[in-house]
Amino acid sequence: MRVGIIGLGLIGGSMAIDLKRKGFADEIVGVESEPVNASAAEKIGLVDRVVGFDECIRQCDLIMLAVPVGAAVRLLPQVLDAFDVPDGENRVVVDVCSTKEHLARSVKYHPRRRQYVATHPMAGTEYSGPWAAMPGLFDGHACIICDTEESDPKAVRTVESLYATLNMRTIYMNSASHDVHTAYVSHISHVTSFALALTVLDKEKDEKHIFDLASGGFSSTVRLAKSSSDMWTPILSQNRDNVLHVMDTYIEKMQAFRKAIEEGDEDAVRGLIEEANKIRRIIR
């Protein structure tokens, strides 16, 4: 199969490595709008060829949109439009975006909607660009596949086989439910990490102190604050309502902590910590 990957960053690049290495794709064709990243992706050897958008869609059996969600909303209808050719119904387009409902809505009534499969492979690092791509990035992680009833079962099977190749666990839900869940287990962690970085950078003007004193605990909590604004601005914007709702709950919990500490109520502080400790059951 010839696979076209649009967007050769961390996710697209890591997909390219493993889909070729594990034999899912005979050839990987890449599209990358940023010239420096395009040259790097070719030089690193992530893809067999870098081509233009139209050429990629014309030539490939499976198109993967691995761009930030703002760009995906623009590009997905263009890919489906381009499938309006005699052999278009044998092609599949799959996206890997972290928010799903907005994207789903954008092609809901597209005549080629059934050639599209909405997915979210839940793996990544805080780094971005083709330089960040790595083999095995997806191995053992969960991949959410959304709204399968809106897609051609054959297209769904192709995409399932792609994720099986990457050794991902597949989970099924509709896109609205996806966006609620990811607000809780992914988007809020990024916001809390950004806020933590802002707090420390604001208060601790002496960067050497941050560097010297940062323990492993601080580094792991603030790690996601390195995440790219190109990726996260549109996620927070497109999942606005869910993210705001979770942020409100989060701020309430902070206020409860603040009150217990301010009042010197050690029993209440202990109670909150012990409640939080229940996360041990769940996250190893």
| 222-241 residues near a copy of itself, rule: CB under 8 A | 222-229, 232-234, 236-237, 240
CB of 277 to a copy of itself, least distance (A): 6
Stretch that binds a copy of itself, among 10-18, 30-38, 50-58, 194-202 (CB under 8 A): 194-202
Stretch that binds a copy of itself, among 27-35, 88-96, 100-108, 256-264 (CB under 8 A): 256-264
CB of 190 to a copy of itself, least distance (A): 7
Stretch that binds a copy of itself, among 13-21, 24-32, 117-125, 152-160 (CB under 8 A): 117-125
Please report whether residue 190 would count as binding a copy of itself according to CB under 8 A: yes
Please report whether residue 258 would count as binding a copy of itself according to CB under 8 A: yes
How far CA 84 is from CA of 46, 72, 92, 151, 212, in Å, comes to 29, 19, 12, 16, 59
Q: How far is residue 6's CA from residue 4's CA, in Å, rounded to a whole number?
A: 6
Please report whether residue 176 would count as binding a copy of itself according to CB under 8 A: no
- Name beta bridge partners: 239: none
Q: How far is residue 248's CA from residue 203's CA, in Å, rounded to a whole number?
A: 24
CB of 224 to a copy of itself, least distance (A): 5
CB of 167 to a copy of itself, least distance (A): 15
How far CA 104 is from CA of 68, 151, 265, 274, in Å, comes to 15, 11, 48, 40
CB of 270 to a copy of itself, least distance (A): 5
Please report whether residue 279 would count as binding a copy of itself according to CB under 8 A: yes
Please report whether residue 126 would count as binding a copy of itself according to CB under 8 A: yes
Please report whether residue 195 would count as binding a copy of itself according to CB under 8 A: yes
Pick from 99, 124, 148, 151: which binds a copy of itself (CB under 8 A)? 124
Residue count at the site for a copy of itself (CB under 8 A)?
92
Stretch that binds a copy of itself, among 8-16, 52-60, 82-90, 220-228 (CB under 8 A): 220-228
Identify which of residues 149 and 274 has a Cβ nearer to a copy of itself in the complex: 274
Please report whether residue 144 would count as binding a copy of itself according to CB under 8 A: yes
Please report whether residue 275 would count as binding a copy of itself according to CB under 8 A: yes
Stretch that binds a copy of itself, among 10-18, 29-37, 54-62, 183-191 (CB under 8 A): 183-191
Q: Which of residues 150-169 bind a copy of itself (CB under 8 A)?
A: 169
CB 93 within 8 A of CB 83: yes
